């Protein structure tokens, strides 16, 4: 049985071509790292999620109609709710202790809102 030759990238691309591609790949590595970090971030809670709908979660508290949501208090939003985990916030989003493994929008709101102490 004859062994197949393993392609040699240096020979195929030439020394300069190989080094150029190696340099480009090394420049891209930090960006690939940030992409994988994003992939590990918990997803944002979908307002159409059945549990979210049950407690009237919305991503924008300014659109809540107080006549339809009697529990809504002026200026209440996720960012000033006791369940909003501000210490773990990334941008405007942070985990909410009510919705495990998901983040909610800081300007969101739901009927479980409780003023941060
Ligand atoms: Fe936002 Fe608080 Fe409702 Fe969580 S419990 S979704 S932080 S208002």
Residue 101 maps to a domain: yes
Residue 64 lies in a domain: yes
Domain presence at residue 13: no
Residue 25 counted as domain residue: no
14 within a domain of the structure (yes/no): no
Work out the average pLDDT over 6-18: 57
Average pLDDT, the chain: 82
User: Angle CA(26)–CA(35)–CA(80) in degrees, nearest 5?
Assistant: 140
User: Is the alpha carbon torsion for 76, 82, 87, 88 positive or negative?
Assistant: negative
Atom of ligand 1 nearest to the CA of 97: 4
- Look up the domain containing 75 and give its range: 50-105
Q: What is the CATH number of the domain that holds 54?
A: 4.10.490.10
What pTM value is reported for the model? Answer: 0.69
Query: How far does residue 22's CA lie from ligand 1's centre (Å)?
Result: 47
Residue 110 lies in a domain: no
Per the domain annotation, does 66 fall within a domain?
yes
- What is the maximal distance between C-alpha atoms in the chain? 81
* pLDDT for position 40: 80
Residues within a 6 A CB radius of ligand 1 = 57, 78, 81, 83-84, 96, 98, 104, 108-110, 112-113
Band the pLDDT of 6: cuts 50, 70, 90: low
Average pLDDT in the 96-117 region?
A: 97
Distance between Cα 85 and ligand 1 center (Å): 10
**Alpha helices for the chain (secondary structure H):** 9-40, 50-54
Report pLDDT digits (tens) over 38-67: 568 899 999 999 999 999 999 999 999 999
- Residue 88, in any domain of the structure: yes
Domains held by the chain: number: 1
Residue with tokens 């393993």: 6
CB 106 within 8 A of CB 80: no
Q: Distance between CA 68 and CA 51 in Å, rounded?
A: 19
């Amino acid at each position: 049985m004859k062994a197949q030759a393993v392609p040699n990238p240096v020979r195929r691309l030439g020394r300069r071509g190989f080094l150029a591609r190696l340099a480009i790949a090394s420049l891209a590595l930090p960006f690939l790292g940030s992409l994988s970090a994003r992939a590990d971030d918990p997803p944002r809670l979908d307002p159409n999620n059945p549990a979210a709908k049950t407690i009237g979660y919305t991503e924008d508290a300014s659109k809540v109609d107080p006549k339809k949501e009697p529990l809504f208090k002026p200026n209440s939003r996720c960012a000033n709710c006791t369940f909003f985990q501000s210490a773990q916030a990334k941008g405007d989003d942070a985990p909410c202790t009510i919705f495990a493994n998901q983040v909610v929008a800081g300007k969101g709101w739901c009927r479980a809102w409780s003023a941060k102490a």
